[in-house]
Structure 1
Amino acid sequence: MNIAMIATEKLPVPAIRGGAIQIYLQSTAEIIAQKHQVTVFSIRDPHLQDDEAAQGVHYIRLDEEHYLSALTEELKKTHYDLIHVCNRPAWVEPLKQVTPDSKFILSVHNEMFAEGKITKEDGETCINDVSGIVTVSDFIGNTITQRFPDAKDKTRTVYSGVDLGAYHPAWTDQGNIIRKRMRERAGLEGKKIALFVGRLSKVKGPHILLQAIPEIIEKHPDAMLVFVGSKWFDDDKVNNYVRHLYTLGAMHLNHVTFIKFIKPQDIPNFYSMSDIFVCCSQWQEPLARVHYEAMAAGLPIITTNRGGNAEVIEEGQNGIVIDRFDDPHEYARIINSLFDDEEKRKQMGGSGRSIAEQKYGWQRVADQLLDAYQTV
């Protein structure tokens, strides 16, 4: 098959600036390209060529401001058997008009079919135009089929994945080396580290985690909360919310550290140096990819019951789900319970790594996408 995969207008592919959709496209495209022709369209970036081949994938990068119109022009030049559009249901109709003989697959990574995001008429048109819809969680699938019941037969969940080879649990030789080196560099030897990775935005809930610090350090004076991320991917500018987080953190300088944007290839090292991972999402999260990363790194996960997050948690095995997601006392209670029990942390981390190896490698994601492509 000759396949086109279309990224959103937000970030480039490969994922040099991060982004769950961009990582998803790059990782699956490289595997699918071993047996099929694959072209990935994304926006231009000064650090990438506009047209190049890498890892068997043809990349075409277009102007961000006129991205959709540029896409329509590009699709006129080459016939693609299948076109995979990421997270932009409204784009399907104009793209299908210029290549009506191509089959379309839509992958949905957020609540793109919700009221306020797309009209009933446009949603029905998109569902009629696509041969299949793949979603990153059952939660997202339900947001589509509840409003558009006719989409049910076309919709399936394909959970995202992680590069298992890039993450090294602390019990491995390489993971132990990374852990020691990272802790020495940061002056965190002997600390119990709880890690947050993600955008510093209110919906991600880092302020709730910061409010839990007094209870945590009362019981564990050697605790350290490490926040990796910025307000928007590689944008380290400080807005009012981030400034508020810094103010909260400054009240506990010996127990909080903020690390701004980290290149995606360097993220795994921060998991290796940590003891537990916390996702404190306050919004209906589609299913944050940090869960896959934490499992691959062998960290026990604390997450919230928001959206699809809990779908990859086997309670008490690889993680713990917080129902009172906006209660700092709950985070403190569960973090303290894990800091109290090193053996439990090891068992949960080991289970998480095993689950990731069984279910969440990129090969499985690519295989399921190909099955979706070939059965439409």
Structure 2
Amino acid sequence: MKIALIATEKLPVPAIRGGAIQIYLDSVAPIISQTHNVTVISITDPELPQTEVKNRVQYVRFNEENYVQSLAQHLKEVSYDVVHLCNRPKWIEILHAASPQTKFVLSVHNDMFSYEKMSDAEGESCISKVSKIITVSDYIGNTITSRFPQAISKTSTVYSGVDLQGFNPSWTSEGASSRNRVRNELGLGNRKVVLFVGRLSKVKGPHILLRAMTKIIEQHPDVMMVFIGSKWFGDNEVNNYVKHLYTLGAMYKDNVSFIQFVKPQDIPDLFVMSDVFVCSSQWQEPLARVHYEAMAAGLPMITSNRGGNPEVIEEGKNGYIAYDFENPEEYARLINELLGNQSKRESLGKYGRQKVERDFGWNNVAMNLMNVYQG
């Protein structure tokens, strides 16, 4: 089959600027290309050529300014069996018109079918023109089918994944070596490290974790909470909210540290140097990919009961769900429980690694996508 994978207009592929969708396409394309003809289409970037071939994958890049029009023209000129479009249901109309014989698969990574983003007519038109809709979580699937019941027969969940080889848990020799090296570089020694990875945005809830610090330090004075991220992917500019976080963090200068945007290839070492991963999202998160990364690194997880995040948690087996997700004391309680019990941390981390190996490797994701394409 000849397959086109189309990224959004936000970031390029390969994922040199980060981005969950970009990492997703970057990871599955070389696997699918082992048996099929694959083209990945994204926006241009100063560090990338307009076209190139890597790992049998053809990369085509168009300017952000007229991206959709360029996509439509490309589909008129190049015939594909399957076009997999990421997260832009409104584009289906123009792309389908450009190539009406093509089978369109839409993957939905956020709540793109909400009333704020799409009219009834737009949603119905999109659903009528796609062969399949795949979503990153059951939660996102329900946001579509609850509004548009006619989408039920076309909609299924294909969970995202993680590079299993890229993450070495601390009980492996490679993981232990990375853990010690990064801890030495950051001056952490044997301190207990709690990790947050994500945009420094109010909807991600880092301020709530900072407000939990007093109660965490009471029980674990050697704790270090590490925040990795910036206000937006690759943008380390400090806005008012980030300034507020820095001010809160300064109250616990011996127990809080901030690391700005980190390139995807450097992320695994920062996971493995940690003891507990926490996701404090306050919005209806589709399902943050950091959960897969935490499991791959063998970390126990704490996540908020928001959106699709709880779907990868087996309560008490690979982590815990913060049901009172707005309350700093809830996070303090769960974090303290894990920091105080090393054997529990280890058992949750090992179960998480087994789970991600079984269900969420990129080979699994690619196989699930091929089942959709061929269905």
Q: Distance in 1 between matches of 2:325 and 2:37?
A: 44
* Alignment size in residue pairs: 375
Shift in Å, 1:160: 0.3
1:239 aligns with 2:239: yes
Aligned pairs for 1:33-44 (under 5 A) are 33-44=33-44
> Which residue does 1:343 correspond to in 2?
343
Residues 191-215 of structure 1 deviation map (CA, whole Å, 9 limit, x = unaligned):
1000000000000000000000010
> Which residue does 1:114 correspond to in 2?
114
> Which residue does 2:175 correspond to in 1?
175
Residues 11-43 of structure 1 deviation map (CA, whole Å, 9 limit, x = unaligned):
000111111000111111111011000111100
Shift in Å, 1:180: 0.4
> Which residue does 1:311 correspond to in 2?
311
Aligned partner of residue 115 in structure 2, secondary structure: coil
Shift in Å, 1:60: 0.4
> Which residue does 1:100 correspond to in 2?
100
Q: Which amino acid aligns with 1:111?
A: D
Q: Distance in 2 between matches of 1:265 and 1:50?
A: 23
1:276 aligns with 2:276: yes
> Which residue does 1:55 correspond to in 2?
55
Q: Distance in 2 between matches of 1:80 and 1:334?
A: 50
Q: Which amino acid aligns with 1:331?
A: Y
Residues 43-71 of structure 1 deviation map (CA, whole Å, 9 limit, x = unaligned):
00011111001111100011001110111
Shift in Å, 1:146: 0.2
> Which residue does 1:74 correspond to in 2?
74
TM-score w.r.t. the length of structure 2 is 1.00
Q: Distance in 2 between matches of 1:217 and 1:55?
A: 48
Aligned pairs for 1:6-21 (under 5 A) are 6-21=6-21
> Which residue does 2:137 correspond to in 1?
137
1:46 aligns with 2:46: yes
Aligned partner of residue 3 in structure 2, secondary structure: strand
Shift in Å, 1:297: 0.2
Q: Distance in 2 between matches of 1:214 and 1:305?
A: 23
> Which residue does 1:298 correspond to in 2?
298
1:224 aligns with 2:224: yes
Aligned partner of residue 18 in structure 2, secondary structure: coil
Q: Which amino acid aligns with 2:240?
A: N
Q: Distance in 2 between matches of 1:78 and 1:337?
A: 57
Q: Which amino acid aligns with 2:371?
A: D
Q: Distance in 2 between matches of 1:293 and 1:122?
A: 35
> Which residue does 2:83 correspond to in 1?
83
Shift in Å, 1:93: 0.9
Shift in Å, 1:76: 1.5
> Which residue does 1:147 correspond to in 2?
147
Q: Note the residue ranges of structure 1 that are not aligned, 5 or more in a row.
A: none
Aligned partner of residue 314 in structure 2, secondary structure: coil
> Which residue does 2:352 correspond to in 1?
352
Q: Distance in 1 between matches of 2:28 and 2:178?
A: 27
Q: Distance in 2 between matches of 1:319 and 1:45?
A: 38
Q: Which amino acid aligns with 2:296?
A: A
1:28 aligns with 2:28: yes
Shift in Å, 1:343: 0.4
Shift in Å, 1:127: 0.2
Shift in Å, 1:75: 1.2
> Which residue does 1:320 correspond to in 2?
320
> Which residue does 1:287 correspond to in 2?
287
Q: Distance in 2 between matches of 1:118 and 1:268?
A: 37
- Point out the more displaced range, 342-351 or 70-79: 70-79
RMSD over equivalenced CA pairs, Å: 0.5
Shift in Å, 1:74: 1.2
> Which residue does 1:210 correspond to in 2?
210
Q: Distance in 1 between matches of 2:40 and 2:230?
A: 27
Aligned partner of residue 179 in structure 2, secondary structure: helix
TM-score w.r.t. the length of structure 1 is 0.99
Aligned partner of residue 295 in structure 2, secondary structure: helix
Aligned partner of residue 17 in structure 2, secondary structure: coil
Q: Which amino acid aligns with 2:101?
A: D
Shift in Å, 1:77: 1.4
Q: Distance in 2 between matches of 1:71 and 1:239?
A: 34
Aligned partner of residue 18 in structure 1, secondary structure: coil
Q: Distance in 2 between matches of 1:96 and 1:330?
A: 48
